[in-house]
Amino acid sequence: MAGLLAWAADVVGKGGNITGDDDPNFIPLILTAEQQAYVQELNRKAASLSGEIQDLRLRLPPPDISQRLPDLHAHSLASYADLALQLNSHSATKEQSQLREVTLLEENAEYEKAISNCRNKIEEKQREADKLQIKLKEMDLAEENLKLELESVQAALESHSIETNETVTNSTAQDGTESSSSMTLEKLEIKKKELASMEKHIQELEREWAQVQDNALKQPSAGTSAQTLLIISSSVWFKFQVISGSYKMLRKRGNLPRVIVFILVLQLKMQKNTI
């Protein structure tokens, strides 16, 4: 088997152009059908091996490959470094994406908790709002009841105030009449006293006047006629003023003492003349 393969390789290496008919040393072989099938299979394998060998020969570098090795090495190192950087960046981005995924999951969990809390709070507020609505309805009913009570109380107060006003007006009217009557009584008493004093003064003046008249009539003289006329006229004027009600005005203005003094002076002069 090994010799057969070596023979096939040798045939392939030499080109395989020489056939058995041209070779003088060629010995024809008599093979059975199985051997012929086996030989054909070997030929196929040899053909495939020859194709692979040709491919390997094409892949072999040229003779000057040794000069190009440093550049290839540097290029390979640069590409390796670039690939390493890309790998590192990819790994970093992968780690960042993983961390971001973790943070997003945590944030989502927190958001879900916050949303659940908000929902719970909303439900609580809704329950509170329902309770407040019920309380507001109760307060409205209480307000209506209070309004009715207030109206009834106001009506009672108005009626009571009307009654009290009537009583107060009656009492004030009575007080006013009593006070006015007391004031008028006081004024009447004052007037009575003034009239009594005036009557006393008038009676004194009348007595003095009667004495003067008696003296003048008993002892008449030429100089006393004018004085008697003046005294008579002054006494008549004084009585007229007293009767007409101007006594109070004379008293306020201070003219009454002057009139009395004037009359007394006339009386003294008349007495001197008589003497």
pLDDT at residue 18, as a whole number: 47
Report whether 183 contacts 202 (CB < 8 A).
Answer: no
Which of 13-17, 21-25, 199-203 comes out lowest in average pLDDT? 13-17
Percentage of residues in the chain having pLDDT higher than 90:
7
Residue 245 lies in a domain: yes
The total number of structural domains in the chain stands at 2
Q: What is the pLDDT of residues 115-155, one digit of tens each?
A: 999 999 999 888 988 888 898 888 888 888 888 888 888 88
Residue 114 lies in a domain: no
Average pLDDT of the chain to the nearest whole number:
71
Residue 26 — left, alpha, or beta (φ > 0 → left; ψ -120 to 50 → alpha)? beta
Residue 246 lies in a domain: yes
Residue 42 lies in a domain: yes
pLDDT at residue 129, as a whole number: 87
Domain of 41 in residue numbering reads as 1-16+26-52
CA pair distance 38, 43, nearest whole angstrom: 9
CA pair distance 268, 208, nearest whole angstrom: 11
CA nearest to 46, candidates 18, 86, 77, 4: 4
Q: What is the pLDDT of residues 199-257, one digit of tens each?
A: 777 777 777 767 766 776 666 555 555 555 555 555 555 555 554 454 455 445 454 44
Average pLDDT over residues 20-47: 76
Residue 210 lies in a domain: yes
Residue 95 lies in a domain: no
CA nearest to 263, candidates 209, 214, 215, 224: 209
Residue 45 lies in a domain: yes
CA pair distance 134, 100, nearest whole angstrom: 50
Residue 220 vs residue 164, higher pLDDT: 164
| pLDDT tops 50 at residue 197 | yes
Residue 237 lies in a domain: yes
